[in-house]
Chain A
Amino acid sequence: MTNNTFILQSSPHFKDKDSVPKIMYTVIASLAPVVAASLYFFRFKALALLLSCIVTCLVTEALFLWLRKKPLHSLRDGSAVITGILLAMTLPPSLSLEFAIIGAVVATTIGKQVFGGLGYNIFNPALVGRAFLQTAFPVAMTTWIPPAALKIQTATFATPLGNLRFQDAIAEGTLTPLKDLFTGNVGGCLGETSAFALILGALFLLSRRVIDWRIPLGILLSLTAFTGSFWLANPEKYASPLFHILAGGFLIGAFFMATDMVTSPIIPRGTWIYALGIGIVIGLIRLFGGFAEGVMYSILFMNAFVPLLNRYTRPRIFGERSKG
């Protein structure tokens, strides 16, 4: 016989209306314009990469849940789908599908499940998958094709950042116009080309308060300050901050990857340090590193500091002495 008159429960007693699936599906909805832009610019290649990444992530996740004897219904929380979409959006359109599948398997296993699944991973899973592919298949991962909408028939095509870094684009006057960066009619990864679509999705995320506004703002500020100071000193050699914001993976990284709730700090002070750090590392890699693009590595790099930031920025509890 059970007595339900008094229910004893430990805190928290408030239950928020938000839940993991709800947040995840909001993120998926916010990615819709980005996915649409990638399908428009890269057509069938984008669709094939997207589907193979999502399916592989789901299958690998299911396999691991089964191996770890965990309930399979957590597949429905949508986190595996997001990893799949985000990974696909960071791949070059000409990548062959088997590489995308390897990347998706690595993202789900090494990026997420070995740490204990959603909520326990240190690094953003999609970026772990991409970093693996970048190191394993460096040539395939840096071969770019022109977007289908551009109707150019060339085998390879430089990204705006690659053009800037390796072709001396400013001196030759071939720097990609900002208008093209904004619409997305440029070479690059599936989801990073169209700034317009990315901003649309980001505004939706911000309006739903799914992501912390401090992260994109902090990255924006530090990248602008960093690249801006070099640009002001020597505009003949360095591109403007606006170019750096619109080109490459900055927008998708700042709004969709650095903001991952699991791998970003929980305390505002830590969040600022995290965000400013990402912007500075992006600037450092883009201006002085061996790669044209540094968004992926800078986010992974700062992800590693998150446990430390959470620890050292913890607010003092009332009554606690400052130095005990």
Chain B
Amino acid sequence: MSTKSIGQEFTKGLWDENPVFRQLLGLCPTLAVTNAVINGLAMGMATSFVLIFSSLVVSSIKKFIPSQVRIASYVVIIATFVTVADRFLAAFFPPISKSLGPYVPLIVVNCIILGRQEAFSSKNTVGRSLIDALGMSSGFVLAMLLLSAIREILGMGTFLGYQVMGPWFEPWIIMLLPPGAFITLGILLALALQIERKAKSWK
């Protein structure tokens, strides 16, 4: 059982236990689909949807899941919501669904979601699990937004498709390619670590 206050339960996902920058979970979609803000945002929203509803279901039926088959049960629950998210995107936002490709179905194996079920929802109340899932989702969406904004602005000179850089700007094509994802994430991780160290030394 978690002993944090409700507020802390939410805010820990934003920074202290941010899934991308502090736990280094869910790096596959973080690296793969952050080449444009719209993709990063859609991926973040889809993952949030799956995480929030899986946490709700797992925390409410945790008493009925035998611990020997808990991982398999979580995966079935998660896969259900992933299918919903995948079909929803394909039906209402076909271009986004197409550009995200296999990464929406792959949310099933996203470590953030399975990790929260195993580490949190299976041990805490429905209310707390919801707050936790909301916090973690927000942290993930923020990370995706940050990464995709940097990559889109440097790689195409645009933000959400709108031109933000002047005509003098020559796009850095590398930022749209895998090396750009790794370089950006590496620099952001280093920055996050440095901020954390500075914050600790002030306390």
Contact = CB atoms under 8 A, between A and B. Distances in A.
A64 interface: no
B71 interface: no
A11 B57 CA distance: 64
A98 B172 CA distance: 12
A193 B172 CA distance: 27
A110 B183 CA distance: 8
Given A135-B177, A135-B179, A114 B190 contact: yes
B190 A136 contact: no
A70 to B, nearest CB: 16
A138 B173 contact: yes
A99 B190 CA distance: 25
Contacts of A140: 170
B185 interface: no
Q: Counting chain A CB atoms within 10 Å of each CB, which of B174, B177, B179, B183 scores highest?
A: B174
B170 A99 contact: yes
A98 B179 CA distance: 21
A165 to B, nearest CB: 21
B181 interface: no
B113 interface: no
Interface in A106-137: 110, 114, 132, 135-137
B117 to A, nearest CB: 36
Contacts of A136: 172-175
A140 B183 CA distance: 21
Interface string B70-98: 00000000000000000000000000000
Q: Which of B172, B177, B179, B186 has the most CB of A within 10 A?
A: B172
A137 B183 contact: no
A175 to B, nearest CB: 31
Interface string A80-107: 0000000000000000001100100000
Contacts of B172: 102, 136-137
Nearest to A138: B173
A133 to B, nearest CB: 9
A137 B170 contact: yes
21 contacts: A98-B170, A99-B170, A102-B172, A110-B183, A114-B186, A114-B190, A132-B174, A132-B179, A135-B173, A135-B174, A135-B177, A135-B179, A136-B172, A136-B173, A136-B174, A136-B175, A137-B170, A137-B172, A137-B173, A138-B173, A140-B170
Interface of B: 170, 172-175, 177, 179, 183, 186, 190
